[in-house]
Amino acid sequence: METQFPMKQILNEDGVVVNSEYESQMTEELTKELYIKMLRARMFDRKSVNLQRQGRIGTYVPFEGQEAAQVGSSLVLEEGDWMFPTYRDHAATLTYGHSARNLFLYWKGYPMGCVPPEGKNIFPPAVPIASQLLHATGTAWAEQLKGTDRGSIVYFGDGATSEGDFHEGLNFASVYNAPVVFFNQNNGFAISVPMEKQMKSKTIAQKAVAYDIPGVRVDGNDIFVVYFETKKAMENARQGNGPTLIEAVTYRYGAHTTADDPSKYRDQEESKRRRETTDPLLRLERYLKNKGYFEEAWKTKVEEEITKEIEQAVEDMEAFGPAEPTDMFTHVFKKPTWSVQDQLDTFKAREKEEV
Amino acid sequence: MSTAVKTQKLTMVQAITDAMATMMREHDDVLVLGEDVGKNGGVFRATDGLEAEFGDKRVIDTPLAESGIIGTSIGLAMNGFRPIAEMQFLGFIYPAFNQIMTHASRIRSRTLGHFTVPMVIRAPFGAGVRAPEIHSDSVEALFTHMPGIKVVIPSNAYDAKGLLIASIEDPDPVLFLEPMRCYRSHKLEVPEEKYTVEIGKGARLQEGEDVTLIAWGAMVDVIKKAAKEIEEEEGVKCDVLDLRTLYPMDRDLISESVQKTGRAVIVHEAPGTGGVGNDVVSLINDTSFLHMRSPIKRVTGHDTPVPMCAIEDDYLPDANRVKHAIMETIRF
Ligand SMILES: Cc1ncc(C[n+]2csc(CCOP(=O)(O)OP(=O)(O)O)c2C)c(N)n1
């Protein structure tokens, strides 16, 4: 089976092109855009981890190492498409236009953090594993019924493929030919459980066979292959040819969350080694250098701009003011039921008493 | 003749680990299974060290699938094993709801006792520890509503060990809910040997004549605090009850207490509507109506999803709300 789903690659670890299929489209402009977006995501992630350590946000879920998979796949979306991220997919949501401020607010425990910018169909992070695959199928199905050429992309991990909802999502999408891209980030672990304890199959892409849809396996740390294969899948979906399952093989360097200790279940040397070999940013930097597109001064300028943007977002988060407790009551229903209304009134009266 | 019982000071989560280890040493048919329970020792370390002692055939890192974990545990339980299935958080039990509702709870009655399901489902639950969204649901009422499954909630280390051992020994399925807020909040002397705390029996933590306070899980600490403060502030003396088991409920303890005090305040963090507090009210009506001196009060979470952590304290009942309710029943 494994041989039927070989891992596609365009750029190898040394930043050398090993597959020239898309070379004409690999312009300097696109390459630099991909690099900037990945750098931005990485800097956002590192900032978040630092904020968590300083107690300025709560538990955080880092994604460092997975930038190529998330940025490459989300960059193919167009206005009106639907995105269903998990708690780990801030690089994808940031790239598709979520505000950094709201992402910070989310991890500070503010309900506002779940709200995407106006006009952006970005769902709040899926916290239960795999349930979002069905929502993506549903929104895509709706677009198809409405006759648009919009589609959905949904993110999930290797562990998610064990849940019933993964299989139900693929099956519904396949039966209704829904325009959805199922984008799996196989980062090797579901918290502490390695892939071999999660499933016997050697690839996730092969699971597509059961639903008679295309299954593609890509090097998830090679942003070019992620970008072009996701683009192809999305275009295919837009043309009415149904869903695709993409497996992006990647690696999470750090802990599952800032509350987790990875040294309990895996060799930390591996993470170190990975940073020097398969790292998605380093690889693209090597390519940029090989092509003569890279100058240190350019990188410094880009970094400065990103730093400014992120610092501003942190400032905005901290200037946001205290979270509003009444938000808890006012959005349970469009019109509050009597019990919610009573509880809100009591709550407000109590607040006044305490002041 | 009394031989001194050897004890050790444990947190509640350590007592839970100890209960499982105690039973696994004694019985080869006891298994632990769930997500990250093996090498990682569980995300709360509740199964820490068990894989090292008992091996990965008895402490099993399963695929990430709650319906799968419960469904296969049902099969294991029907065929000679006593599985302890861990749900990583109660808020993630929903995919397994179907298996619990349609199978675990009624195989005994459907087969007139021919097949049975002696299994335990363990799940951390409750708000107040700043967990991310959905991790903090308190949905015990969903399960007390289902005939055929017992629902147990300890609030301290001693009870946790005794109740978990009783649950593992129980011939029927038991949902064993572990309030996250109590996992490490205090330590108690816990006997090293095996002992049980009877399922279905509550505990009286403090004697008082004026009003009965009833809670379970993390809210037990809240009513203890309220009882102490209201005695100092108003001289009101509370009878403080920790129910420990929600199904079956300790009818005798509740009715004996309210018949003495004539007043009751029930506290739980789950939403009020459809909450287990309502069953306590009904029970009091059935057994003690004519003894009551004022309407029974409930202090509960709101009829809203448990909010994100920045405002979760505004969701949870606290000692002030409880004291307010106590004074309402007193001044009625
Ligand atoms: C239904 C459900 N069960 C359990 C959990 C607890 N949990 C959170 S993340 C996680 C592991 C997920 O692994 P994977 O799908 O591979 O995604 P990754 O975190 O590696 O990105 C688990 C078990 C959950 N969130 N939802």
Closest CA to A243 of A187, A183, A186: A183
Closest CA to A85 of A140, A127, A125, A135: A125
Six token digits for residue B103: 């199978």
Q: Is residue A46 part of a domain?
A: yes
Query: Looking at the structure, do residues A165 and A284 belong to the same domain, yes or no?
Result: yes
Query: Looking at the structure, do residues A311 and A334 belong to the same domain, yes or no?
Result: no
B residues 265-284 near A, CB within 8 Å?
272-273
Q: Choose from A106, A132, A199, A265 for mutation: most chain B CBs within 10 A.
A: A265
Q: CA of B115, closest CA in chain A: separation in Å?
A: 26
A10-14, A15-19, B3-7, B143-147: which range is least confident on average?
Answer: B3-7
Q: Is residue A209 part of a domain?
A: yes
pLDDT tens track for A299-330: 999 999 999 999 999 999 999 999 999 999 99
pLDDT tens track for A38-60: 999 999 999 999 999 999 999 99
Q: CB-based contact (8 Å) between B311 and chain A?
A: yes
Mean pLDDT for the stretch of residues A18-31? 96
Q: Is residue A248 part of a domain?
A: yes
**Banded pLDDT at A271 (limits 50, 70, 90):** very high
Task: Check: CB of residue B236 under 8 Å from CB of residue B211.
Answer: yes
DSSP letter string over A171-221? HHHHHHT--EEEEEEE-SEETTEEHHHH-SSS-SGGGGGGGTS-EEEEETT
CATH code for the domain in which residue A129 is found:
3.40.50.970
Q: Give burial (CB, 10 Å; 0-12/13-18/19+) of B5.
A: exposed
**Banded pLDDT at A247 (limits 50, 70, 90):** very high
Task: Check: CB of residue B225 under 8 Å from CB of residue B186.
Answer: no
Q: CB-based contact (8 Å) between A159 and chain B?
A: yes
pLDDT tens track for A205-220: 999 999 999 999 999 9
Q: Please name the residue ranges forming H helices in A61-163.
A: 67-74, 90-96, 100-107, 132-146
Measured between alpha carbons, how far is A66 from A218 in angstroms, rounded to an integer? 13
Q: Is residue A6 part of a domain?
A: no
Task: Check: CB of residue A85 under 8 Å from CB of residue A126.
Answer: yes
Q: CA of B304, closest CA in chain A: separation in Å?
A: 6
Closest CA to A104 of A63, A147, A150, A48: A48
Per-residue pLDDT, A355: 57
Task: Indicate the residue of B304, B310, B311 with minimum beta-carbon distance to A332.
Answer: B304
pLDDT tens track for B90-99: 999 999 999 9
Query: Looking at the structure, do residues A221 and A250 belong to the same domain, yes or no?
Result: yes
Q: Is residue A8 part of a domain?
A: no
pLDDT tens track for A140-188: 999 999 999 999 999 999 999 999 999 999 999 999 999 999 999 999 9
Q: Whose CA is nearest to atom 25 of ligand 1?
A: A128
Looking at residue B109, its amino acid is: S
Average pLDDT, chain A: 97
Query: Looking at the structure, do residues A262 and A351 belong to the same domain, yes or no?
Result: no
Per-residue pLDDT, A107: 97
Closest CA to B164 of B32, B291, B36: B32
Contact B36 A339 (CB under 8 A): no
Measured between alpha carbons, how far is B161 from A195 in angstroms, rounded to an integer? 34
Query: Looking at the structure, do residues A258 and A281 belong to the same domain, yes or no?
Result: yes
Question: Whole-prediction pTM value?
Answer: 0.96
Query: Looking at the structure, do residues A350 and A209 belong to the same domain, yes or no?
Result: no
Measured between alpha carbons, how far is B29 from B31 in angstroms, rounded to an integer? 6
Q: Is residue A13 part of a domain?
A: no
All residue ranges of chain B with pLDDT < 70 are: 1-2
- Long-range contact list for A292-296, CB < 8 A, 24+ apart? A293/A28, A293/A31, A293/A32
Lining residues, ligand 1, CB within 6 Å: A 88, 127-129, 156-160, 187, 189-191, 256; B 35, 64, 66, 88, 92, 95
Q: CB-based contact (8 Å) between B4 and chain A?
A: no
- Chain A positions touching B35 (Cβ under 8 A) are 190-191, 193
Measured between alpha carbons, how far is A139 from A121 in angstroms, rounded to an integer? 10
Q: Choose from B47, B93, B184, B308 for mutation: most chain A CBs within 10 A.
A: B308
Measured between alpha carbons, how far is A85 from A340 in angstroms, rounded to an integer? 30
Q: Is residue A311 part of a domain?
A: yes
String of b and e for B291-318 (b: at least 16 CB within 10 Å)? ebeeebbbbbbbbbbbbbbbbbebbbbb
Q: CB-based contact (8 Å) between B132 and chain A?
A: yes
- At A143 the three-state DSSP class reads helix
Measured between alpha carbons, how far is B281 from B292 in angstroms, rounded to an integer? 11
Query: Looking at the structure, do residues A39 and A181 belong to the same domain, yes or no?
Result: yes
Query: Looking at the structure, do residues A178 and A212 belong to the same domain, yes or no?
Result: yes
Query: Looking at the structure, do residues A207 and A354 belong to the same domain, yes or no?
Result: no
Q: Whose CA is nearest to atom 24 of ligand 1?
A: A128
Per-residue pLDDT, B332: 94
The residues that bridge with A183 in the sheet, in sequence order, are: A155, A246
Contact B132 A128 (CB under 8 A): no
Measured between alpha carbons, how far is A303 from A309 in angstroms, rounded to an integer? 10
Domain that holds residue A350: 324-355
Q: Choose from A52, A123, A193, A201 for mutation: most chain B CBs within 10 A.
A: A193
Query: Looking at the structure, do residues A130 and A256 belong to the same domain, yes or no?
Result: yes
Query: Looking at the structure, do residues A298 and A330 belong to the same domain, yes or no?
Result: no
Task: Check: CB of residue A137 under 8 Å from CB of residue A180.
Answer: yes
Domain count within chain A: 2
Contact A193 B61 (CB under 8 A): yes
Per-residue pLDDT, B2: 60
Torsion angle of the four alpha carbons A66, A68, A70, A74, in this order, in degrees rounded to the nearest 10: 180
Contact A109 B309 (CB under 8 A): yes
Mean pLDDT for the stretch of residues A269-288? 95
**Banded pLDDT at A352 (limits 50, 70, 90):** confident
Query: Looking at the structure, do residues A307 and A342 belong to the same domain, yes or no?
Result: no
Q: Is residue A216 part of a domain?
A: yes
Counting ligand 1 atoms within 8 A of each CB, the residue from A168, A191, A247 with the most, and so the one to mutate, is A191
Q: What is the ipTM of this complex?
A: 0.93
